[in-house]
Structures are given as structure tokens and as C-alpha cells.
Amino acid sequence: MSTHLCLTFWLTASLLFITGCSRDGGAGEDGRAGQMVRGNDAAMTAVREAARALAEPEPSVNYVAAQMEGVIKARTNSQALMHYAGYRATLTTSGDQVTRVVFELTEARPSVGQLTEVFGKPEEVRRGMLYEYHAEATGSTIRILAEPASKPATETSLVRRILVEGANVR
């Protein structure tokens, strides 16, 4: 009986050791662990393009959607909805002009550090991190508010929602 108990113990210990060695804390087979620390680049392109499009004079819904490389899935008098893999964007409109773009990030969450790389050093506000994008060609200032998924926000904090809108300064 004791031989059977020792054999079972060694077999269990060996399996636990092998399992522990295969989980080294790295990216794994699909590379997602490293991605979560860094954030996801998928939404960053759309956020950058939304800021550039809103900096243009009188940005239309079709123009902003084309710049963001998206397709309008639903439209009302005051909003247009676009779906992407891992997030959705809602364009708030006044007539045919876009005044705000709101990104609801479900899976494609960038980090605060990624936004800082693209838009510069943010100002910390109550709701999150506030960035500004200045378009030299038009003189427009666009504000980007990144709401982190958890507080306090650090460079590695993932963002759950991003609001992009024109500032009152032109």
C-alpha cells in the first residue's frame, strides 16, 4: 500500500511540476498576456483618425466614418453607430456634422501609455486622463478623454472608454 501511495505522490508532484513549468507567465500560445500589459493597438488607429477627422472644418458623418475606416451600422437624427472587433464607436451629430466620437472598448482596450505615446502627456482629471490634439493645418484643438478601467490610472492601465470631441478653442 505504501508503494502505491508513494507512486501516486510522485506522479502528482511530477504533473504539478510540468504544469508549473509550462505556465511561465509569458505570452502563451496566443500572445494575449503581453498584449494585456501593453494594451491593444486595434482601437488606437480609429481613435487617432477620429481626432484628425474632427479637427477638419465641418466633419460630416460619412467623412469621419471613412477616415476611421468603418461602416455606419445604425443611424438616428443625433447619432451614428459603428461596430468593430472588440469595440464600438458612437458618433454624436448635429445635423450631418460630427461633434463627438465615443469609443466603448470591450476587448480592444489600449493602455494609458499608448495614448500618451500618440497624444502626449495628459492632464489627470476626475474622470480619467485628458489629452489634447492640435491640428496645425486648421488650428483646431481636439480633446480626448480616456476613462481607465481601474483607478488610479498608471501607464499600464487599460482604458474602457474614450471620448473624442472638439474644444471650444479654434
Q: What is the pLDDT of residue 4?
A: 59
Lookup: cell for 141: 484643438
Query: Mean pLDDT across the chain, nearest whole number?
Result: 82
Report the percentage of the chain scoring pLDDT > 90.
55
Q: What is the pLDDT of residue 95?
A: 86
Q: Does pTM top 0.85 for this prediction?
A: no
Q: Are residues 25 and 48 in the same domain?
A: no
Q: Are residues 92 and 129 in the same domain?
A: yes
Nearest to 49 by CA among 63, 36, 35: 63
- Number of structural domains in the chain: 2
CB 152 within 8 A of CB 39: no
Residues 77-120: tens digit of each pLDDT? 999 999 888 899 999 999 889 999 999 998 889 999 999 999 99
Measured at the CA of 29, the angle between CA 153 and CA 106, to 5 degrees, comes to 40
Domain that holds residue 22: 2-33
Q: Are residues 107 and 126 in the same domain?
A: yes
Residues 43-84: tens digit of each pLDDT? 898 999 999 999 999 899 999 999 998 889 999 999 999 988
Rounded CA separation 66/71 (Å): 8
Q: Are residues 71 and 9 in the same domain?
A: no
Q: Are residues 111 and 147 in the same domain?
A: yes
Residues contacting 25, CB < 8 A, separation 6+: 33
Q: Are residues 29 and 52 in the same domain?
A: no
